[in-house]
Amino acid sequence: MNSKMKLFSYNFVDSPIHRLSGLTKLICFMLLTSTVMYSYDIRIILVVMLFSLFILKISRIKFSQIRLMIIYVLVFLITNAVISFFFSPEQGVNIYKTRHVIGNLYGSLKLTWEQLFYQFTKFFKYASVVPLGIIFLLTTNPSEFASSLNGVKVNFKAAYAFALTLRYFPDIQRNYHDISQAQQARGLDLSHKAKPMDRFKYALLIIIPLIFSTLDRIEMISNAMDLRGFAKSNTRTWYTYRKLQPRDYAAIAVSLLIFFVAIGISVFINHSRFYNPFI
């Protein structure tokens, strides 16, 4: 069925990103997320963000695959921003040590340029991780990734368990979809018309059958693996094993460069994790 391209899971597409080894992608992902997590410099964050959007584009991921994910993340980030504003409206002032009031909001609650700038930075800091995570999950062949993990001495059972989880993720999504339709036919209302509490209760009506049919599946797969000698020795080889290619080293080098430049800017130019345009 062609609906498979819409799923939030690995699909093989021949793009430069898909061709990178899973290990390379893990290292780059860690380096780039560390960069944006460490730095509060909006310039660095925006550069990484633009860079990752560019990578997202060349990895040929379809928007329909990730739309739902993006919506969830945006809702989360906006809620987070609003709540953190009300909890500490003066955080920006504390950090940047200046205070430029834009206007009065309510009582003593004032909106400052510092706070706005701080929250703007934080919003993009989190938002820039999203494309990176999406690229990593959607372009990495789970088995090939497991073999790379095992290559860097991660226990192969743990690596394989991880790969299996990713491997069955689309199956579970499909199953969820089927169960949800059957339960809707029995009268389950998952639309916005239902009350939040009801929607939670209703979600359980889908999750319980999902768990039971998944457990059946797990028994079967573990039997199949036992019968073909999984974990009979303490090591294993991998059909999907790939040697790191020059392009892998190049990708790691680019990520390292971004990482060190970001740290360098913080240490030598900003003298802090924050970039302060107010002084």
Partner 1 sequence: MNDQAIIEFQDFSFQYFSQAEPTLIDINLKIYPGEKILIVGPSGSGKSTLGRCLNGLIPFSYTGVINGSLKINGIETANLDIFSLSKLIGTVLQDSDGQFVGLTVGEDIAFALENDNVDHAEMNTRVTDVARMVDMQNWLSSSPYELSGGQKQRTSLAGVLIDDVPILLFDEPLANLDPATGKTAIEIIDDIHNNSQKTVIIIEHRLEDVLHRNIDRVIVIDEGRIIADMDADTLVSSKILKDTGIREPLYVTALKYAGINVTSKMHPGHITSLNLEGSQAVLRSWYKAISPDSQHNTNPSILMMQNISFSYDGVRHVLEDINIDIRKGEMVSIIGKNGAGKSTLSKLLCGFEKEDQGSIHFMGDDIKGLTIKERAEIIGLVMQNPNQMISKPMIFDEIALGLRLRHVPEDEIAPRVDKVLKICGLAPFKDWPISALSYGQKKRVTIASILVLDPKILILDEPTAGQDFQHYTEIMKFLVEINKGGVTVILITHDMHLMLEYTPRSIVLSGGRKIADTLASVVLTDSRVIEEANLKETSLFKLAQLAGIEDGTGFVQGFIDYEKGMRS
Q: Which of 44, 12, 224, 202 is nearest to 124 (CA)?
A: 44
Residue 233 is a binding residue for partner 1 (CB under 8 A): yes
Nearest residue to 162 (alpha-carbon basis) of 149, 151, 176, 172 = 149
We find the least distance from the C-beta atom of residue 30 to partner 1, in angstroms, to be 23
Q: Does 104 bind partner 1 (CB under 8 A)?
A: no
Dihedral (Cα; 233, 239, 243, 249), 10-degree rounding: -100
Q: Is 158 in the site for partner 1 (CB under 8 A)?
A: no
Decide: is 108 part of the binding site for partner 1 (CB under 8 A): no
Cβ proximity to partner 1: between 213 and 276 the closer is 213
With CB under 8 A as the contact rule, the residue among 229, 246, 268, 271 that binds partner 1 is 229
Let me know: does 218 contact 168? Beta carbons within 8 Å. no
Q: At its nearest, how many Å lie between partner 1 and the CB of residue 177?
A: 9
* CB 254 to partner 1: min, Å: 28
**Closest approach of partner 1 to the CB of residue 198, in Å:** 9
Could you give the dihedral angle defined by the CA atoms of residues 123, 125, 126 and 131, in that order, rounded to the nearest 10 degrees?
120
Q: Quick check: 140 and 251 in contact, CB under 8 A?
A: no
Is 200 one of the binding residues for partner 1 (CB under 8 A)? no
Give the distance between the most distant pair of CA atoms in the chain.
Answer: 71
Q: How far is the CB of 231 from partner 1 (least distance, A)?
A: 7
Helix (H, G, I), strand (E, B) or coil at 105: strand
| DSSP helix/strand/coil, 101 | strand
Considering only the stretches 66-74, 112-120, 122-130, 140-148, report the one whose residues sit in contact with partner 1 under the rule CB under 8 A. 140-148
Q: Residues in the site for partner 1, rule: CB under 8 A? A: 1-4, 12, 141-143, 163-164, 167, 170, 175, 178-179, 181-189, 204-206, 208-209, 212-213, 216-217, 220-233, 235-241
